[in-house]
Chain A
Amino acid sequence: MKVGTIALNTFKEAKRDRVLYLLFFFAAVCIVFSRVLAILTVGDRVKIIKDVGLASISLFGVLMAILMGTGLVYKEIDKKTIFTLLSKPIHRAQFILGKYLGLALTLFIMTVLMATIFLAVLFFHTFRVEWPMLTAILFIFLELMLITAVAILFSTFSTPILSSIFSLSFYLIGHLSWGLETLIKKMKPGTGQTLARALYTFLPDLENFNFKTEVVHGLPIPPKIFVYSTLYGILYAAFVLGLAVWVFRKRDFI
């Protein structure tokens, strides 16, 4: 499978990136440090560990996705390794997809590692394995997949620094969707409101992947949202990757 070959090669390249391990180190430090923080609070100590732990996995995961994704395609073009690659019988779409899956694999392993440390720290506190945490972590991973796709999209036409800024903006917009929703409710009905509503539906809503609150407080989650959120993530990522292929297919590599 040609996509698989590129994916595996991307994975080999990604796992050598020191930034990855640096971020992982900080994530691990944060998670372990939350144990120390827990001693300082009064009341329910586990909550701090859970909150900090999930936030760390999310935050550092996003940083990993952005920092690696934005360099991925750019490096190939800048270092010109793409010449030999694209002269072989592969579609440019296969190239993009391969890069994406390679990075996805890398992030998956990193998430698993961070999750393991997180569950271990929790275990030493509550003496049981907090399986429900995995639900939140699974959806954090889904969010990372979407961010990765966005990072790759920007990487196809922009330098790593600009791509990082754009990707970060995507992340912020994705978490401020409620703000736009509130604004729309206050608007008078008309073309302005309809346009705003269309924009609101198009812009990403990353809160769909945020189950941290429910999981930490043990609140019920309606099962429908699992399905819808997962599909949402998959389709949005597919759309973004499609855009990347669109940009990439007619590109001249001078």
Chain B
Amino acid sequence: MGFPKEGFYLKRVSGGFALALFLVAACAGFMGLKLETDKILRAKIPGSSIIYVPSGKFLKYATFGYSALAADMIYLWAIQYYSTYEIADRFTYLDHIFAIIAELDPRYTDPYEIGSMIAGQEARDIPLALRILDRGFAKNPDMWLFPFEAGHIAQRQLKDFDLARKYYEKAMVLPGAPDFTKRLYANAAFKVTDFKTSWETWIEVYNTATDDRVKKIASNHLYQVKAEMDVDALKEAVAKFKEKYKRLPEELSRLVTAGILTSLPRDLDDKDYVYDAATGYVKPPTMWWKR
């Protein structure tokens, strides 16, 4: 005669079962709530997640030798951060963040490219874009890509051919730079009316060209440069003539007989330049790109 043992042990088993049920219910509960809280949008201060951004130098020491890993992580985060267009003022720390990545892993080239792209195309801060590429080049003087891209940005966005020329000059001597970098340089030099440099460079391109197409391009550009120089010289002579004789010369040979020029320049194909006596305009017989 005892107490209902089976009933008691059943209670213990059911106690365990009840606990298991409770665990499942609680788990389902909080998972459901998580889905709910995700739906609620929280007000975000722009850049609030990075309110206190420490300096790169500090981080380098703080990451205990894992600076390259830290650079990767921060770069990954930065990509997500800058693709989140809702954060309206996300460019506030753009320079700083990419400076940190550069400090942590200076030889990691992607961030410089992407950083400059974000700066240039999204933040519309061209000087910053160039600064980022400069930083990349300073840390990686053997990478042709940085001055190459900087040259393009200077040329296309800023229309600053002098700056572009400086960049292309740096890029073209580095190993791995594409051939046409030289051509870009020559072209930029031309645009800033540095005809001497432009001529010399195009000669070099012509001489080192490995296929006919490049030779043709070089030749055309040489024509262009010479034509420009010659036309300028002729225009100057015409102006001198007009000053002296108070009228335009009838034809270009008059400039020689008047003693202003020793001889008439001819274009690269050894053709005469075209002169319009009525207006005084000089122009080359063919357009350089139509040759």
- Indicate whether A and B interact: yes
Residues of A participating in the B interface, judged by any CB pair closer than 8 Å: 51, 93, 181-182, 201-202, 205, 208, 213-214, 217, 219-222, 224-225, 228-229, 231-232, 235-236, 238-239, 242-243, 245-246, 249
Contact assessment for A51 and B37 in the assembled complex, using a CB-CB cutoff below 8 Å? no
Q: In this assembly, does B80 line the interface, its C-beta being within 8 Å of a C-beta of chain A?
A: yes
B26 in complex: contacting residue of A181, A213, A222, A238, CB < 8 Å: A238
Q: Is A242 touching B19 in the complex (CB atoms < 8 A)?
A: yes
Within 8 A of A (CB), among B63-109: 80
A93 to B27 Cα, complex, angstroms: 18
B233 to chain A, nearest CB (A): 60
Residues of A contacting B37 in the complex (Cβ-Cβ under 8 angstroms): 205, 208, 225, 228-229, 232
Q: How far is the CB of A94 from chain B (nearest CB, A)?
A: 13
Enumerate chain A residues within 8 angstroms of B42, measured Cβ to Cβ: 214, 221-222, 225
Report the minimal beta-carbon distance from A194 to chain B, rounded to whole angstroms. 14
**Inter-chain contact A219/B45, CB cutoff 8 Å:** yes
Interface residues of B (CB under 8 A from A): 16, 19-20, 22-23, 26-27, 29-31, 33-38, 40-45, 48, 51-52, 80
In angstroms, Cα B34 to Cα A229, docked, is 8
Report the separation of the CA atoms of residues A236 and B48 in the bound assembly, to the nearest whole angstrom: 27
**17 A–B contacts from the bound complex (CB under 8 Å):** A205-B34, A205-B37, A208-B34, A208-B37, A225-B42, A228-B37, A229-B37, A231-B33, A232-B37, A235-B33, A236-B26, A242-B23, A245-B19, A246-B19, A246-B20, A246-B23, A249-B19
Contact of B40 among A201, A222, A238, A246 (CB under 8 A): A222
- Are B27 and A239 within 8 A (Cβ)? yes
A51 CA to B45 CA, complexed, in Å? 14
Question: Does B43 lie within 8 Å of A220, measured CB to CB?
Answer: yes
Decide if B19 touches A235 in the complex (CB within 8 Å). Answer: no
Q: Once the chains bind, are B30 and A239 in contact (CB under 8 Å)?
A: yes
- The chain B residue with its CB closest to the CB of A233 is B30
Residues on A with C-beta less than 8 A from B80 are: 182
Q: A232-B37, A239-B29, A239-B30 are in contact. List 18 more A-B contacts (CB 8 A).
A: A51-B51, A182-B80, A202-B31, A213-B43, A217-B48, A219-B43, A222-B40, A228-B37, A229-B37, A231-B33, A232-B30, A232-B33, A235-B29, A236-B30, A239-B27, A242-B22, A245-B19, A246-B19
Chain B's closest residue to A216 (CB) is: B45
Contact A214 B26 (CB under 8 A): no
- Which B residues are in CB contact (< 8 Å) with A229? 37
Asked if A201 and B35 sit within 8 Å, CB to CB, the answer is yes
Neighbouring B residues of A222 by C-beta, 8 Å: 40-42
* Residue from the list A181, A228, A245, A246 in contact with B33, Cβ < 8 A: A228
A51 to B51, CA, bound (A): 10
- List the A side residues contacting B30 at CB < 8 Å: 232, 235-236, 239
A214 touches B19 (CB 8 A): no
Chain B residue with the shortest CB-CB distance to A241: B26
CA distance A86 to B284 in the complex (A): 107
CB contacts (< 8 Å) of A242 on chain B: these are 19, 22-23, 26
